[in-house]
C-alpha cells in the first residue's frame, strides 16, 4: 500500500511539475489596461472555410450579446484581421 502511494505521488509530481513550469506568463512590453465593458458576450458562432494554399480563413461570425447598461455604440476587438460589415 505504501509503495503504491509513493508511486502515485511520483507520478503526480511528474505530471504536475511541468504544468507549473510551463504555465502562462505575463506579457512583456507596455502595460495596456482592460477597457471597461459595455456589453456581455453571450454566444459566439463562427462559420469558417479555410484556404490552405493562400493561408486565409473566410467566414461569418455571429455574436449574441446583451448590453450592460444603456448604450449607443460598442466596439469589438479583431486584432490582426480584416473585417467587412
Please, which residues bridge with residue 66 across strands?
40
Q: Could you tell me the residue range of the domain that residue 48 belongs to?
A: 36-69
Q: Is residue 48 part of a domain?
A: yes
Render 6-57 in DSSP notation, one character per residue: HHHHHHHHHHHHHHHHTS--PPPSS--PPPPPSEEEEEEEEEEEEETTTTEE
Tell me what pLDDT residue 20 has: 54
pLDDT range class, residue 61, cuts 50, 70, 90? confident
Q: Is residue 10 part of a domain?
A: no
Judge if pTM exceeds 0.85: no
Q: Is residue 65 part of a domain?
A: yes
Question: CA nearest 4: which of 23, 54, 12?
Answer: 12
Q: Is residue 42 part of a domain?
A: yes
Q: Is residue 57 part of a domain?
A: yes
Q: Is residue 46 part of a domain?
A: yes
Amino acid at each position: 500500500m505504501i509503495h503504491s502511494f509513493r508511486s502515485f505521488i511520483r507520478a503526480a509530481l511528474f505530471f504536475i511539475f511541468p504544468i507549473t513550469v510551463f504555465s502562462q506568463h505575463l506579457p512583456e512590453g507596455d502595460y495596456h489596461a482592460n477597457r471597461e465593458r459595455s456589453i456581455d458576450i453571450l454566444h459566439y458562432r463562427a462559420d469558417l472555410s479555410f484556404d490552405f494554399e493562400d493561408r486565409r480563413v473566410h467566414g461569418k461570425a455571429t455574436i449574441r450579446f446583451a448590453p450592460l447598461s444603456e448604450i449607443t455604440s460598442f466596439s469589438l476587438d479583431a486584432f490582426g484581421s480584416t473585417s467587412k460589415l
